[in-house]
Structure 1
Amino acid sequence: MNTNCRVVIAEDHDLLRNGLRSMLSAQGGYDVIGEARDGKEACQMAMTLNPDLMLMDLSMRGMNGIDASAAIKRRSPNVRIVVLTVHQSEEYVREALRAGVEGYVLKDVSFDELLVAMRMVMQGKKHLSADVYGYMVDSFVTGREAPAPKKAWDILTARERSVLKLIAEGRTNRQVGQYLNLSPKTIEKYRASMMHKLNIANLTELVLVAISMGLLTSLAEKCSEPKIDDTPVRLSADLDRQSESPEDTGLPRYGLGAGR
């Protein structure tokens, strides 16, 4: 039985899309079953191919990656989505997370980090690039939209704080229920109650609340990540080697393409 992760790549630059396909195929453990050039094609492939995971660019022609991700999550909520983009402003990150994506990766990362992100989201966890993660947590803690850590602590009951800590560690409702000797339905009710009390819309913001409250230090410390080669291989260098013609070499230093 084939246990490879079935991937659809949504990227409107042919060179970048082809490079990703080649690297994933060479890596093993991944089957690239579809390639979309815009958000509309990505939505169609999500429905017809039912992939396990989609790599989603944001700035595609026509339907953008955020709108496509939101549409895909409404119709196929089990499809995991990792955004791969140059956009690192808070506005883009928040909109992508609200659309339901599980991962947000910048195009200047190494191929190894992209693989880590893909593995984490397939394990039911979230992944943000280190730079994005840092300023999103800072923004969340100091911003006006979210309750301050002390206030959040006071709002939640002791039981809710216990549930929140376990959820933030990446456990499913069933796993949390088994740990606390409660039913998955009860855990779901706790989750909904916490989100209502804290006026937040999704699991990612709930995890950030847990971090700001000191319930866990860092998502990375709680995730069991596969061991990878100590020597980083950057996406830009890998993609340069995929090119056979002189004009296809010399990609920008930040990785997978300009203005994406």
Structure 2
Amino acid sequence: MTATEPVPAVSTVGPGPAAGPIRVVLADDEHLVRTALRAILGAEPGVEVVGEATTGAEAVSVVRALRPDVVLMDVRMPEADGIRATERILAGMDDPPRVVVTTFENDAYVYDALRAGASGFLLKRAGADELVQAVKLVARSDSLLFPAAVRALAAAHAAPRSDDRAAALREQLSEREAEVLRLLATGLSNTEIATRMTLGPATIKTHVAGVLAKLGVRDRTQAVIAAYECGFVSPR
């Protein structure tokens, strides 16, 4: 599957953060797109659109000012594209939001955005239910957004396999952390990993945090991309 193919629906999505609604910023230079996104998300209980931006540079300023939970970021915008804007947002905030890039179909742009730190992507032709589910899933951040698509993008765009890098990663991780990373790469949630490994969810959460810290990444999408690119797991 590539980013040009239909995006699968998310099977299960839990509630947003307990502290309040999921706060979303929309960054897209097309007024009709922003209007449609605002209408869909604004009608969903527990989700609040708090701001909009029409350029990449404006998106960075709006996000830094409003500190939302999730940003829907168009890949291609004037002044700074979604990839550069994502990098600047993640580098300039102590507790940056989850960024989901939106695109029509360009795989290379999507993969570059994931490498830059985006937590996932959505096709602009995705249905309303998929949009809402994606925002909630990313806000909850205990599972990959559309793991089959992430694997396909890694298969098409990841750097050539490096046995030395894979071996170094195995040395860095504990045995259980290595197994958690392999299961993360299949798209399993923390609860599903706990069931597979017959461990408690809290223990899995601790192992996931350990994996992210040792890889120097902020979420499971970047951990999986790193695992693919060094050959620790195969996207195929």
Q: TM-score, normalised by structure 2?
A: 0.68
Q: 1:103, CA displacement in angstroms? A: 1.3
- CA distances 1:154-191 after superposition (whole Å, capped 9, x unpaired): 962596342033252555xxx999628xxx69x64x65
Structure number with greater Rg is: 1
Aligned-CA RMSD value = 3.9
Q: 2:225 aligns with which of 195, 205, 213?
A: 205
For the 8 Å contact 1:163–1:176, the answer to whether it is kept is: no
Change (3 A) 1:118 1:165: farther
Structure 1 residues 145 and 50, CA gap change in structure 2 (3 angstroms):
same
Counterpart Cα distance in 1 of 2:137 and 2:115: 19
Cross-structure match for 2:178: 164
Q: Counterpart of 2:14? A: none
For 1:122 and 1:13, locate their aligned partners in 2 and report how far apart those are by CA, in whole Å: 24
Answer yes or no: is the 8 Å Cα contact 2:75–2:110 preserved in 1: no
What stretches of structure 2 of length at least 5 have no aligned partner?
1-17, 191-198
C-alpha separation between the residues in 1 aligned to 2:189 and 2:161? 21
State the identity %.
26
- For 1:3, the equivalent position in structure 2 comes to 20
Question: Which residue pairs with 1:80 in the alignment?
Answer: 98
User: Separation in 1 of the partners of 2:70 and 2:90?
Assistant: 12
2:76 corresponds, among 59, 62, 69, to: 59
Residues of 2 paired with 1:32 and 1:191: CA distance?
29
Count of residue pairs the alignment pairs up: 200
Q: 1:153 to 1:176 in 2, by over 3 A?
A: farther
Letter in 2 for 1:104: F
User: TM-score scaled by structure 1?
Assistant: 0.62
SS of residue matched to 1:146 = coil
Q: Output one character per residue of 1:138-165: Cα deviation in whole Å (capped at 9) or x when no partner.
A: 336xx653346xx947962596342033
What runs of 5+ residues in structure 1 fail to find an aligned partner? 219-260
CA distance, structure 2, for counterparts of residue 112 and residue 154 of structure 1: 41
- 2:138 partner amino acid: V
The yes-or-no answer on 1:26 pairing with 2:7 is: no
